[in-house]
Structure 1
Amino acid sequence: MNQLKDRLEKKLDHLRRGELLYYKAEKSEDVYAFCFLNKSAELKIADLMTYGGPLSLLVSDQSEICQSREIIEDCTVLPCEFTPQGLINVFNNQSETEDRVLLRVVKNHDILENLSVEGRIVEFASNVEGDEHCLIYTKIYNKVNVDSSLLLNEEDVSLSRFFNPRLIEMTGMTELDLQQGSFKLYSFYSEIDARYHWAFVCDEKKEEKKTPLVRIESECLTGHVFGSLLCDCGDQLSKGLEEIKEYGYGALVYLRQEGRGIGLKAKLDAYYLQQFHGMDTVDANIAVGMPEDARDYLIGAQIINYLKFEPLKLLTNNPAKITGLNRYGLSVEQQVSHIIPPSKHNKRYLDTKRDRMGHRI
């Protein structure tokens, strides 16, 4: 059982049932209470009114309340009788009272970058499948004791992306014959980076109840496609597929994060500094204004979760990949070494991996 998923699912189940959840704002002591606005929310709305702050409605711009109106701004004042039923009537454009309620709108296209309280609450609520929801929320001014198991923070919202059904989609599968043998190739589209990622799956020995062998491979155009000798990426990819095929059960997950996540242009700039200024790969990345390793393994974890390859053996020399999967609650039972003999072209590169990045080679 994925303990992270289990813990956050309990909070989501609470929200699904129409109960109140709470969010603690980043870098402050402010706490907000919220719940879905529906026909059964009358008692919860009454509870919200005891917290001392004004109530507001909160939606993404994909909500029906936005689609049914010609003009909706980020903050829109709507006529509303300030009762539970009056709040619900806002959706039907039936309210003709002189009272007003504030509608806060979070743009769907930037929800993953919107670090406001409203953005975080809407994103977490998006884990609940179904039509776009409307939330009602308020800042808590009166002193109350909040159950810690119902209190969210920024880290909870970020980690919940692991199992958010709206963020990853399996877009197709085909049989593929490679030099290393036959694989099932799965294609996935990620809303997180708006890219396609792939999984080369072998399940010939699934019936033997083996722990799946998984490798996470990050895109390297120069090494994987053009055969650059400055890194070991081409050999890593080829050998990874070969070892998974020989083992008979597992996957090579191919993530589109070129140059340890810094992108092709920055990677080539870093190459120049290595070749003509004597820098190693770590110093060169930093010199071009990038981190030494900008990769994140969320999308890889989502794909592994989709394939139900957990617990798993991870084919890697890089402990950071294990840490990256553990962050999302995935269980790595064993690290399997993936050693590529050095050449005169990539020896310094591999030495830097070992000495400065902690790779076990």
Structure 2
Amino acid sequence: MSTSEAENTSAAHGWREEIGPRLLAPPSASHGRRALWTSVGLTLLFSALMLPYGINALDGLEPPRRQWAIGVGTAYIGSYLVFVALGESKAWGVRLFMCALLLILGGALVFLMGVKNAWVLVFALCVISAFARTALAVGAVVLSVGAVGGTALLSGTLGAVMPELVLLASVGTAMILFIRLVEANEQLRRARDRIAAFAVVEERERVARDLHDILGHSLTTITVKAGLVRRLLESTGQPAVAEEAGEVERYARQALADVRATVSGYRSVTLAGALAEAGSALRAAGITARLPQAVDEVDPRVQQVFGYVVREAVTNAVRHSGASAVEVHFGRDWLVVEDDGPGTGPVETGNGLRGLRERVTARGGDLQAHRSAGGGFVVRAEVPVEGGRNGAGAGAHEGGTD
């Protein structure tokens, strides 16, 4: 790859990672679906109320202008439906393009039908409010109201279109506030789930400590004492009693092994717990953590092994990468951990990554660790689950595949 191509790739990567996330809300599955269908439902309700006004406005247009309005209106509705289908796309560029296209087509439709029909912009404002950050959504409302108001002012019809301006401003603002309320409720639900998961992990850790410190100590003492009694009895020529003492020792050893196995089970790694630990470790190291808020997307059968992947990859990023940010994202059967460290020198597979690859391979999966095209380090794990692969893992980082 030439220097100019590398610079272009780096610039494109930077745009996606910096500009897109600042303008659009994160495309998480739960937030996207809730916000999307809330927006669609309110828009359909508004459409049912305003349909007679739209038909009446089209009937009042001259034939050439009417045909143009119908064509633009069809494209406007089609774009809206496409946005509904692609709104949860992880491609920032696609979503930004759809936002701009809806505003442009809506503005063209208002131009053809007249500023008295500026209410058609509500469709664009509703769907933009569902996926844009607050700043961009407010900007879309201000732009729409300003454009319609300015046009009306220049044509001397500002007083006549004042109700439409109030409608645009009020509906746009209400949609922004309502969608943010939906988002806040979703964040509260996720926080409640995380708190519950952390409480379970802490309780399991407490029980494991108690088992190890109290019962484990007692069983160890019993085992040692039983062994001593057996040896003393053997030395005094009482084989039958020594045999019974040996049975006591064997049972004590088995009980001790069971306690240790139980403690190990209680201290098993979970994906939610690993993400929580990763967030704490990254913040302590001064590294920006871009972590998912929930693990609902991941199949429960692979969450434990993905927890090990997150733990090892984040530990390596903190210790060796010199990164300023670490991002984790996943799907049903795949997980990617990526940092933006300088990535100097060849990729080396240490004992941690080697053991991690063995753990993933044992589940029938695949683990890749390599430099990314824009710099930094990528660890990607895929573990097939019954019912088919999600396939998103392959497309999430095409540019980083060796």
- TM-score normalised by length of structure 2: 0.25
User: Which is richer in strand?
Assistant: 1
Larger radius of gyration: 2
Q: Which has the higher contact order (CA 8 A, sep 6+)?
A: 1
- TM-score normalised by length of structure 1: 0.27
User: Which is richer in helix?
Assistant: 2
